[in-house]
Structure 1
């Protein structure tokens, strides 16, 4: 008597094994398409109500695209996460009455990433009347856009198809360290420490429409006052190299990127401000780099707040060494727009 298994061809047997491997993924894929955890499957006007920590560059891009018909954005804050210190409402105080600002940034943004975003904004006809670029010394030597799904915000910008764009996010979700925290949170609606970096642990972290960042540490400071810096004392390591000048990082490839940025700004007659933020450790940006930046972008466009100065001296200006607060951002904007004759600009 023949066994049924002997009648199954190798090809069929392979397909059955493959099906067994795929079956557990089906409900996970269903969850992905039902809840759209990364907010990439459908257009959204708001992103402030998502439990998932989202791709910030994608949020910024979609926030602009989905709201530009109702809000006449013409002023853009570009750069890295230190843009959190520059609130759109504060910046608008120094712009024309009918100007509308929006924040379009990326974590760890590169010089090449800024150019890419300006090119994309230009390609869709965005009116680039005012542009505020906020970077730090580490960003200047990165002449290419950042890679990886955390920085993927547009299929067109990445040079891939829409299908390829969507598959990248689906594949990201299938990693257990992304999928498990999200599904757990969907079921229990409760944050757990192991979800750090995947799920937002508390209140919304961004404002709708402007994309201003809401740092939960600001609330902590308001509640605790001076105790905040005592509690976080270990984060603020000794400034052992204060005043030391950094080595130059701007060379031929960076110069090419800067010239591209300048070309786009010239096309739109943009009022450009290029800020190198106040590093807590007070290391000074290279004088040669600043000289090149001014030669390409214009002397009045480049603002270097690094080194030992009134902005970096006060620990109360910082959440932690990597990020400074909006109260300092407001001071820097005032220095740029109101005190140009007396401000320390190098």
Structure 2
């Protein structure tokens, strides 16, 4: 009787067992194994923080990176090689993450320091969103790599396994893997825009946007409901920096001081035209000095022109290049 029950239980659980084995064998989130490069069209399922960490670990023994760009995906348009021309470094590293947080930036700096790297130059691309999230509360696309955050290996994978089984993710993953055919239901968890990750310096390039704009910029910028109308009034949002986040600002300050880093903080020109809050700005000045902070938030020449943006979340490299030209201009 017991053996018959055990056989039935094994038969009942076999699909679950097969799916769990599939998680480790096929590695849908590209986190079980190590990779030198990553697919270019899975931004909704791949974790950018993991990619940035892994590419750093892969290449750091050879390149001994000494210059770093930090920020969310909005920092992606500050291409590392373009920045390198301003700081005389051929291989600066782009250590960004999707929906990056101030705690994530602080832990990345400590991680880099623990590897023995010099941190001669740093470029921080901030906006309000940097202070809006805590990574340990976010899902699989945003959680910080456990090797940097200190989260245990099994808790880290548990977050991804939960995503694997939720909302039919594994169905879409295996459907696409087998038939290589995109179906509408997959939009919830698979991203079919082409996004490229450059080797060595780890830039993040919005290839599909670039191709669409090049093919027909007029129709691109006149898509219905694509860009919303901004208020002509000055947008002065409430403070974003919380008291508990001051310790992360202090941690960043201490690493920069120990390494004698040449650094700059850019407050980016977000499409919403929100100004960086005055009290938040004063906190940054207190920790990093007014001479190192460059505020491009609010209503200005960049935010007034919607063609400076790919969509309402990300401005273009041309804007980043102009900003770098300004902040690194010889005084």
Please give the TM-score of this superposition, normalised by the length of structure 2.
0.89
Any residues of structure 2 matched to 1:169-184 within 5 Å, and which? 169-175=160-166, 177-184=168-175
User: Are residue 75 (structure 1) and residue 67 (structure 2) matched?
Assistant: yes
SS in 2 for 1:78: strand
| Distance in 1 separating the partners of 2:63 and 2:254 | 26
Partner of 1:38: 29
Partner of 1:199: 190
| Distance in 1 separating the partners of 2:199 and 2:172 | 25
Structure 1, unmatched stretches of 5+, are 1-7, 342-346
SS in 2 for 1:182: helix
The Cα of 1:171 is off from its aligned counterpart by 4.0
Structure 2, unmatched stretches of 5+, are none
Q: 1:18 to 1:131 in 2, by over 3 A?
A: farther
SS in 2 for 1:100: coil
User: Are residue 298 (structure 1) and residue 289 (structure 2) matched?
Assistant: yes
Partner of 2:51: 59
Q: Which of these residues, 100, 111, 120, is aligned with residue 91 of structure 2? A: 100
Q: Which of these residues, 168, 175, 179, is aligned with residue 188 of structure 1? A: 179
Which has the larger Rg?
Answer: 1
Please give the TM-score of this superposition, normalised by the length of structure 1.
0.86
Partner of 1:322: 313
Any residues of structure 2 matched to 1:169-248 within 5 Å, and which? 169-175=160-166, 177-215=168-206, 216-231=208-223, 233-240=224-231, 242-248=233-239
Q: 1:108 to 1:147 in 2, by over 3 A?
A: same
Preserved CA contact (<8 Å) 1:191 1:199: no
Q: 1:84 to 1:158 in 2, by over 3 A?
A: closer
The total of aligned residue pairs comes to 329
Partner of 1:135: 126
Instruction: Output the aligned Cα RMSD.
Output: 2.4
Preserved CA contact (<8 Å) 1:110 1:145: no
| Distance in 2 separating the partners of 1:304 and 1:195 | 39
